[in-house]
Structure 1
């Protein structure tokens, strides 16, 4: 394991798996972190197209569509055709989706508070900054 100890990707993958596991446990295994992110993006950008949501979430459209199909089937979102573009759909949360997201946001805040308590607020902010920079580099 010594060669992996100095590899950022190895530690990032382990951290991601741990974060996803913590989130799934807190959320009652209803959603994974990526699906929660999609819901949060839709809430903050109602009426945006599927393509815009995919870009904001860091997903390709083909990965997003099954998630949106699942959300629509569960009554969490609605998709409406975009006027002037027959291929595009505007996405927004339903009342049920808003309620579901609000419950999940409480759990996310609790997890984030645990991370802040462990790292300290300054290191937490620095970690986010470094992860954004890593994303830009790679």
Structure 2
């Protein structure tokens, strides 16, 4: 009985049948996203919340926009964005200011420290993108981005 268990434990994911998932875009996209997030977190050398870089980049290019607008642009719901912004605020990366005439809305901008943190993260993103471009080639890299945008619009 123990011998049988040992053989089962030695099997890897390479041995698994996945024909039901092979043609499912969402499955492959999820795996790619998880790999990209892990690669980025490792390159950045710290534990990053999902979407942290994207949210910072959006805030940087759109200072003074509301949390709701940032969440929509990042493809997040507001409840997912709030913990990210709370973390940023605690770390001194952003400032939030109440929007005149709307007691529930807050405008967000990066601090100097936030701008510096973003610059550091952008360097890591460029390194990872260069690796992806080298692997796919520039044409397929651009095509992949276009296909992902189309996928988003379809659903």
Q: TM-score range by the shorter chain?
A: over 0.9
Give the distance between the partners of 1:56 and 1:124, measured in 2 at CA: 22
Structure 1 residue 32, shift from structure 2 partner: 3.7
Runs of 4 or more, structure 1, over 3 Å off, are none
Give the distance between the partners of 1:63 and 1:33, measured in 2 at CA: 9
Secondary structure of the residue aligned to 2:92 is: coil
The CA RMSD over aligned residues, in Å, is 0.9
Q: Which runs of 5+ in 2 are unaligned?
A: 1-17
Secondary structure of the residue aligned to 1:75 is: coil
Deviation string 1:101-131 (CA, Å, 9 cap, x unpaired) is 0000000000000000100101000000000
Which residue is 1:87 aligned to?
A: 104
How many matched pairs?
138
Please show how residues 111-126 of structure 1 align to structure 2 within 5 Å.
111-126=128-143
Give the distance between the partners of 1:41 and 1:33, measured in 2 at CA: 14
Deviation string 1:71-116 (CA, Å, 9 cap, x unpaired) is 0000000001111111111100000000000000000000000000
Contact residue 24 and residue 33 of structure 1 kept, 8 A: no
Deviation string 1:1-37 (CA, Å, 9 cap, x unpaired) is 1221111111111111110110010111242451110
Which residue is 2:28 aligned to?
A: 11
Which residue is 1:28 aligned to?
A: 45
Larger Rg: 1 or 2? 2
Secondary structure of the residue aligned to 1:3 is: helix
Which residue is 2:127 aligned to?
A: 110
Q: Which runs of 5+ in 1 are unaligned?
A: none
